[in-house]
Amino acid sequence: MRRANVSGPDGDAREVLDGGGGETVFEIDALRLLVTVAETGSFTHAAVRLDYTQSAVSRRIAALEQQARGPLFERLPRGVRLNPAGRVLHRHALEVLDRMARAERELAVLHAGHGGLLHVGAFATAHIEVVPAALRGLRRTRPDVEVVAVEGPTGTLVRRLAEGALDFAVVSDYPSGLPSADGVTTTELCEDELLVALPREHRLAGSAVVGLRGLRDEAWLQSAYGDRPTTLADACARAGFAPRKIIRIAEWAGKFGYVAAGLGVALVPSLAARAVPDGLVLRRLDDPSLRRTVHVALPADPLPAALELRESLREAVRRRTPPAGPAGPRPADGGGPGVPAPSLTRSPAAGTSPSAACRGGTPPVPP
């Protein structure tokens, strides 16, 4: 048997138990009445327990027996008891009522923010550092919340939020702008600087800041290009050139592999700095507009746990420190890529100016 929703004679939606083929439908209230009559052994006692009249109980049981295509109780001189058909339906009714009661308890806990499942999505590089840090903070304050984390591109995450498949998402406007969807609200979290990944032996690997035009002859590793405006295309146009070649690679491991092999260069957000392999260096570019904006996306009526996670994420961004290391390339045994201090600037808090918040979050480029 399965649960379904139907409209009653008054037009209201009612929960029902469907026999599977759609031919027999039992209302949850009728099943609850069946169980109560079986427990009390009397229509009269069941009426008292459920605050019904005795005649109302008799009518409801008669209607239930009509749906069941036969009697469910043996009528005794003093009360009633289940017959074989009644015992079959009673067993299923107990299972369904137990599941409904558990569902109600879980929903109450969920909406109170004290537990339940929280479905969280984020783009790939957010999962490297800030999302795990935020989830660690949420686990400390809400250990009874079970997080189901998924990864995906921003467009997919926004769509899944709108469909109700996600409760929380970290999204960005890179590479082609921030999509919108009915019922989804976004709050700016921070700005994330876009750096360029170069092989360690690249001619510009020793520069603290790389001129974008100096990379005009390079192939670029990019997941999307040409079919819609992108951050890279706009930046190259401002620098007066179009990329010589685009290699369409979506996954970061593949991009890093191509760059390490000297087959191209790639824009890398500072959030990904800790995941860059030793054979590469990250360098700042001379175009200050090369950055993306990271947002928190929520449904119109977010769960309390989702709001707590948003605050935990803000705290993770506030506490984030850039990877240590000089701007120049590290020695081969230096234990990590040469990385400039990346810029991850927090969105302004209430009452502060955006420029002040950005100045506070942007470290200087080392000499």
The DSSP secondary structure of 22-77, one letter per residue, reads SS-EEEHHHHHHHHHHHHHT-HHHHHHHHT--HHHHHHHHHHHHHHTTS--EEEET
Task: Round to whole Å and give the CA distance between 64 and 244.
Answer: 75
Stretches in the chain below the pLDDT threshold 70: 1-24, 113, 226-227, 321-367
**What are residue 6's DSSP bridge partners?**
14
Return left, alpha or beta for 203; rule: phi > 0 is left, psi -120 to 50 is alpha, else beta.
Answer: alpha
- Overall CATH class of domain 116-361: alpha beta
> Which H or E run includes 297?
strand 291-299
Specify whether the CB–CB gap between 200 and 330 falls below 8 A: no
What pLDDT was estimated at residue 320? 82
What pLDDT was estimated at residue 49? 94
What pLDDT was estimated at residue 24? 66
pTM of the shown model: 0.64
Task: Round to whole Å and give the CA distance between 114 and 363.
Answer: 38
DSSP 152: -
Structural domain spans, the chain: 2-111, 116-361
Sheet (strand 25-27) strand order:
2-7, 13-18, 25-27
Per residue in 275-292, pLDDT tens? 999 999 999 999 999 999
| 209 alpha carbon, distance to own chain's centre | 36
Task: Round to whole Å and give the CA distance between 164 and 168.
Answer: 10
CATH number of 2-111: 1.10.10.10
Specify whether the CB–CB gap between 235 and 286 falls below 8 A: no
